[in-house]
Amino acid sequence: MAKSLGLVLGSGAARGWAHVGVLKALDEMGVKPDVIAGCSVGALVGGAYLLGALEEFQTWARELKPLSALEHFTLKVHRGGLIDTAPAFEAFRSYDKNIEELGVKYAAIATDLASGEEIVLTKGSVIDAARASSAIPVVFHAVRHGERWLVDGALANPAPVSVARDLGAEVVLAVDLNAVPRVLDRFGNRKSGLPALPEPKLPAKPGVTGAVAKLIEDTQAAIKRQIDFAKARADAAPHLFETAYAAADIFQMHLARARAVADPPDICLQPDMRDAMPTAFDRADEFIKEGYRVLMAERGRLERLMAD
């Protein structure tokens, strides 16, 4: 008899497209998770999957560009944040169920804004739980849940392996989208420098036309412009949003590593999205493919663990 599988879907904003690829790979293998523990975008994708709304969620999320996102949300500045996500989540209310009705154990991880306590949501509305789990502080409004105000679960447990085990998973497969903080790669390795532009080497043979020589000159000038632009970009100071993104990545990376020491998964997938910004929803196909790839690379090991 196969062991019960717990799937942990970690935080990571638009990188969460990789979760879709992992789920597609599991479906291809004929493997259904017995437990799904999600944090932030992981709670969103896991919830949409269990509600049978994953295709609709993908269609909606693919439309999210930095500016068009405001068409789906409501810009409503108050003490809890800049953007009210309620209108977007209400669009999926017809798919909603109580977590207890899903047939698969599901948990969404949120953080108590008052105490910093990790809150594991395993009852009530799937949509409300996912919304609370993904309420990025300052950006999105905090979500009222009973007597608590909840925000993004990534502040407490970005890859909730411990929760999956508490819910009975015998084998835990975790997807960590923040294994390496990659947002500010352009500020690293400055000492190595950029490649020098080679000196022009124009054709010396009299048979070569002036048009060919001009083409070579133009090509080398274009290369030089690209190198100059790359150098200027590398030398530029971090701007506000880059700093915020990087800080979030670094924080989640260290927290996920610390939590993994105490609660290691049986398999940890780390999709390679080194240049992915949190708002890169337009790169869905690329990230889905990467999630599929990393799962299939571990297919044999997963099957052995499930059968042992």
Catalytic residue IDs: 40, 152
Beta bridge partners of 143: 150
Look at phi and psi of residue 73 and say left if phi exceeds 0, alpha if psi is from -120 to 50, else beta: beta
HEC secondary structure over the chain: CCCCEEEEECCCHHHHHHHHHHHHHHHHHCCCCCEEEEECHHHHHHHHHHCCCHHHHHHHHHCCCCCCHHHHCEEEEECCEEEECHHHHHCCHHHCCEHHHCCCEEEEEEEECCCCCEEEECCCEHHHHHHHHCCCCEEECCEEECCEEEEEHHHCCCCCHHHHHHCCCCEEEEECCCCCCCCCHHHCCHHHCCCCCCCCCCCCCCCCCHHHHHHHHHHHHHHHHHHHHHHHHHHCCCCHHHHHHHHHHHHHHHHHHHHHHHCCCCEEECCCCCCCCCCCHHHHHHHHHHHHHHHHHCHHHHHHHHHC
